[in-house]
Structure 1
Amino acid sequence: MASLLLALPLAACNSSAPPPVAAVAAAPEPPAPGVVGGGVGRELDEKDKAVAIAAQQEAVSSGSVKSWKGGHGAYGFITPGPETAGAGCRDYTHKIFINGRPQEGKGQACKSGDGWRVTS
């Protein structure tokens, strides 16, 4: 009788079913670099690029001019244009000053299911 009682809990351990897996939420996709990822931002270090990309994303999402300042003297301004009727996109201009020299790039952002995304 005692062996029967011990066999039941052990039988449960020998189940071939895999253990339940907790669902893992996908991390949100980081903002696209847009013009900062191209020639305009090539002289920025990685920290300043991250600041510039975050400001760029905020500007195109809000539709308002946004400025940023990096840790090494670089700074910039993003000026988003109006949303195009029916297309759900807007152009933007990002002007970056590195060592006092202005550089300017133009890009576009469009609405997606989770907000505005820089496309170029």
Structure 2
Amino acid sequence: MKGKASMRSIGGCFLVFGFFAALGGCNSSAPEAAKIVAAAPEPPAPGVIGSAVGRELGAADRAMAIAAQQEAVNSGERRSWRGAHGAYGFVEPAAENGVGGCRDYTHKVFIDGRPQQAKGQACKRPDGSWRVTG
């Protein structure tokens, strides 16, 4: 009996040791998960589409307008978009100014044939990507 009791104690020790070893392994991967979350790209800012110009757009059309706006400021070239519900528009970015690495843009939206226009600005981040600031 004494031998079987010792084996149970040893087995219990291995079980406890294995449990804490597993917990230790979980802790070591937590910083990696935090890095992945921190590196997730920021969604495009609504810019002028978040103002009165985009207020009448449905969610799908607004998403298309915001994507075109971001593409235009990234590339420095005009981008057009057309929504699923008849709204459409274009974004015309200006040249990058030398001071501060920013560029202005104009976003013209047509909703039910009525034109709406707003001006905004985007600035270059240190990594070279563009962030719509207004």
TM-score (norm 2): 0.81
Structure 1 residue runs of 4+, over 4 Å off? Answer: none
* SS class of match (2:65): helix
Q: Does 1:88 align with 2:101?
A: yes
Which is higher, the Rg of structure 1 or of structure 2?
Answer: 2
Which one of the candidate residues 107, 122, 133 is aligned to 1:109?
122
* SS class of match (1:52): helix
C-alpha spacing 1:71/1:6, structure 2 compared with 1 (3 Å)? same
Aligned length: 120
* SS class of match (1:15): helix
Deviation at 1:112, TM superposition (A): 1.1
Normalized per residue, the structure richer in strand is 1
Structure possessing the higher relative contact order (Cα contacts under 8 Å, 6 or more residues apart): 1
Normalized per residue, the structure richer in helix is 2
Q: Does 1:73 align with 2:86?
A: yes
* SS class of match (2:64): helix
**Uncovered stretches (5+) of structure 1, i.e. residues with no partner:** none
Partners of 1:63 and 1:14 in 2: how far apart?
Answer: 56
Deviation at 1:29, TM superposition (A): 1.0
TM-score (norm 1): 0.90
Deviation at 1:14, TM superposition (A): 5.4
Partners of 2:8 and 2:85 in 1: how far apart?
Answer: 74
Partners of 1:14 and 1:43 in 2: how far apart?
Answer: 56
Partners of 1:43 and 1:10 in 2: how far apart?
Answer: 62
Deviation at 1:113, TM superposition (A): 3.4
Let me know the Cα RMSD of the aligned residues: 1.9
Tell me which residue corresponds to 1:11: 16
